Chain A
Amino acid sequence: MNRVYRGFILFFLLLVFAALTPWQWYPREWRVWYADNFGASGFQQQAATIPATPGDNAEEACPPDIRGWRKPQTIAGIEVAASPNCLADNPHAVAAFVKGTNNVGHMTLMDARLSPDAVVKGRDLDGDGDPDEIHIRLEVFELNGGSPDLDVPVTQFSIAPGITPGLWVFAPKSAGMSTENFESLIAQPGLRLPSPAIRVEQGDKVIVTLENTHYMPHTIHFHGVDHPFQTAAGEGNDGVPVASEKPVMPGKQRSYEMQPRQAGTMFYHCHVEVQAHVLMGLNGMFIIEENRPNNWVQTFNIGDGFVRHSSVAVQEKYDREYDLHYLDLDKELGEKVQQSNDPRIVTQLINREYDISQADFEYYTLNGRSFPYTARDSLIVVAPDEKIKLRVVNGGSEGVAIHTHGHKVTLTHYDGVEHPEPARITRDVVWIASAQRVDLELSTEDDGLHSYGEGVWLMHDHQERGVTTNGFGPGGNVSAIVYERYLQDDGWPMTFGMGWKNFLTPGFYQRQEDGSGATPLLPGVEASGPSTFRLVMLAAIAGLFAGLLASWAMRGRQRD
């Protein structure tokens, strides 16, 4: 082999080596120099419709509604309104919640995946045409929990693409599997964050039975709901381990009794080790509807959001009603249930070692999900000249400052108590401290005050961390007020900025792109880390070089 030939091989290998070296391994200055000389020097706008990452694994923005859950329907004699969002609540479950799981047929229960005693509606005590004896059964589920056999979370619920923090939720007593089916690891649609909004009527005799299906002790405290300190039988009824009763142990149950005299938007949550249990997701909205004749209320609103069967009193004043549940989550707290499969260790990690005073909060959810998933089931869909009721709770540990683009909302109720009409405030940033509730009236009258006209108007926490997921945006509790004219047939909003598809990849929330709508042409940001192939080839060439060096070093020596 002559010298020129060897030199050529060497030079070629060097080029290949340089090309194979992942961009991000080069110093930033080199990359800037490269971009200045061989690429554009500034920014390049991302296309509105084409994903920024070529060959990405973007999810479908709006999964097709193959079961026809979105359309209006009458099930078991109960009218279930059309659901404009792309992911609709299970209409069979809605009907069962309205009529009572004891009053619907077998097929409805099967389709709803509910136990026949999940919501038992009994006698009409005041003779006004609706049941006043309500017995609700709640179970506790762990989502994204650990497993001794798998390296991925089980009973999965993603709050955003690729984000599965450990969660605990209350859910109506269900029947059958917790997952979609045996082959799937994904939680069935009835099991999700947030713990669902519960509705009863003013004056109802309500029993709520907590069936603790979880491996840790829990209770329920009915915050703001008119309830006696003890039940008729003299047992604890406030749900507070330090004041009224012992916690409900795994596999056990307890019933709470109440007959609320006042209507309003209230709250319920677990009161065991509240600094951890509430923030794991064990909190939800508890609504007492005003008493009206023939007032069959939708006892559960799974996943909150649009109410498909509003109460008589709400229908008198409003065209639509939405439940909005804000909750911030601590990533480190959620990981604890995934770190061990031993209940003793999980208990130690959560009840003893978790220190909320040292915590920061990474995930900001609206109705259990973060942007862009909020666009699937938490858009506030409206039409012009409507009045919409928004019931809002902040279940998280930090306040939220909810800002409505294009609208000013009027606060009608604070913590479930009506505010006198002349004193009502209309504004575009609503501050809600932890556990507080506000009822908002959203008017879509285009008068420059209540609404500035039709469009896709964002609605989000204006503390900027609230619009991020793990500190990266857009994410968090961003949703939107969307006028029907701006809604596509499948329920996805018509937007005119950058394509949202970019956000529907797990990679986005691993900071592989940014949400500015522009891509800096600085080489070094790849869809994923260097591929195995690339590393192996790199190593192979490095090996050749090393062999070459060694052979030079040994050149002087005699071969034998």
Chain B
Amino acid sequence: MTRSYLRVLVFLASLIVAGFVHGANEHHHHQMPGMSMDATGMVMGNNKDKLPDDCEEITGEYEINVIAGTSFAEPYASTMFGFNEHEWQVKPCSRITVNFKNEDDVRHQWMLHGLPKYLYDRGMFHMEASGGHSQTGVFIVPSDDKTYLVHCDIAQHMEKGMKAQLVVGRGGDDLWSIPGVSADFERPGGILSTRPNFAVLLAGFIFIIVFIIGLKFFRL
């Protein structure tokens, strides 16, 4: 339990630091290879044949059919948006074709993060489909066992259920709050949630320690 708290804290800290660093020098994006865009949506990071450096050959071929919409939120209480599946499993160095269909009348995205940045702009494979439209894209994953975050980045869509994971090989640990896969992240409550409380606790602890030392020191 402590370990996961710590991991989450480290993750949050790195997120904040990265946010600052990135916000300071946001670079311009120009049209890059593997990108297409029109009124039906867009695909970014499309990659049919460029192998990651650590892969000798493509070891698996997968085709996944993803459907996005509010109707897929129904099985999961407290969500409003969802995908037909929230977890996919593939082998390392696989090529994955994603057929992404949007059943709603509004935009949705299937955005995967954490791919190697030398191959994918900002480490991202990103599909966006306008309401009622479909997109198809291909990408190749590297050889390491890893669990990738997949989500829709329209404000509150991930928070309200459009969050999934792609498990490559044995994967890493499950991500938080994925419908049907993992529980909501438990925010550290009570004494650890706010600094003043933590400080008071620490102060109390020190008090007791020094009380004992004082007792020994002055008791002649």
Contact = CB atoms under 8 A, between A and B. Distances in A.
Given A139-B106, A145-B155, A341 B80 contact: no
A532 B37 contact: no
A349 B78 CA distance: 14
Contact of B195 (A187, A344, A345, A532): A532
Interface stretch (A170-178, A263-271, A305-313, A437-445): A170-178
Q: Which of A107, A178, A215, A554 has the most CB of B within 10 A?
A: A215
Nearest to A173: B107
B86 interface: no
B39 A115 contact: yes
A147 interface: yes
Contacts of A141: 154-156
Q: Which of B29, B79, B80, B216 has the most CB of A within 10 A?
A: B80
Contact of B78 (A143, A179, A341): A341
Interface string B1-37: 0000000000010010011011100101111000001
Given A185-B15, A213-B155, A552-B218, 10 more contacts: A142-B156, A148-B176, A149-B177, A178-B155, A213-B107, A343-B78, A539-B204, A539-B206, A546-B207, A547-B212
A309 B212 CA distance: 74
Interface string A174-195: 0111111111111100010000
B55 interface: no
A551 B219 contact: yes
Given A117-B130, A536-B202, A551-B215, A148 B159 contact: yes
Contact of A181 (B79, B122, B215): B122
B105 A547 contact: no
Nearest to B200: A535
A243 interface: no
Contact count band on B: 35 or more
A115 B155 contact: no
Contact of A109 (B23, B37, B126, B157): B37
A341 B80 CA distance: 10
Contact of A250 (B81, B122, B124, B210): B81
Interface in B179-203: 184-185, 187, 193, 195-196, 198-200, 202-203
A65 interface: no
Contacts of B26: 180-181
B63 interface: no
A37 B147 CA distance: 65
Interface residues of A, number: 76
9 residue pairs, one from A and one from B, having the closest CB atoms: A547-B214, A543-B210, A539-B203, A251-B104, A251-B70, A342-B78, A215-B80, A253-B105, A183-B18
Contacts of B209: 543
Interface in A69-107: 102, 106-107
Contacts of B29: 110
A539 to B, nearest CB: 4
A529 B204 CA distance: 18
Given A150-B12, A213-B154, A535-B199, A546 B211 contact: yes
A212 B176 contact: no
A214 interface: yes
B37 A251 contact: no
Interface of B: 12, 15, 18-19, 21-23, 26, 28-31, 37-39, 42, 69-70, 77-81, 104-107, 111, 113, 122, 124, 126, 128, 130-131, 153-157, 159-160, 176-177, 184-185, 187, 193, 195-196, 198-200, 202-204, 206-220
A145 B26 CA distance: 24
A317 interface: no
B81 A215 contact: yes
B9 to A, nearest CB: 11
User: Is chain B's binding surface mostly helix, strand, loop or mixed?
Assistant: mixed
Q: Which of B202, B208, B217 has the most CB of A within 10 A?
A: B217
A146 B160 CA distance: 10
A544 interface: yes
Interface string A516-553: 00000000000001001001101111111111101110
Nearest to B80: A215
Contacts of A102: 39
Nearest to B199: A532
Given A178-B154, A547-B211, A148 B124 contact: no
A211 interface: yes
Interface string A230-267: 00000000000000000001111100000000000000
Given A532-B202, A536-B206, A142 B22 contact: no
Contacts of B213: 543-544, 547
B37 A550 contact: no
Contact of B206 (A151, A191, A253, A540): A540
Contacts of A536: 199, 202-203, 206
A143 B156 CA distance: 9
25 contacts: A6-B218, A107-B30, A110-B29, A116-B38, A142-B155, A145-B155, A148-B159, A154-B159, A175-B42, A182-B122, A185-B15, A215-B81, A250-B81, A343-B160, A535-B203, A536-B203, A536-B206, A539-B207, A544-B211, A547-B213, A547-B215, A551-B215, A551-B220, A554-B219, A555-B219
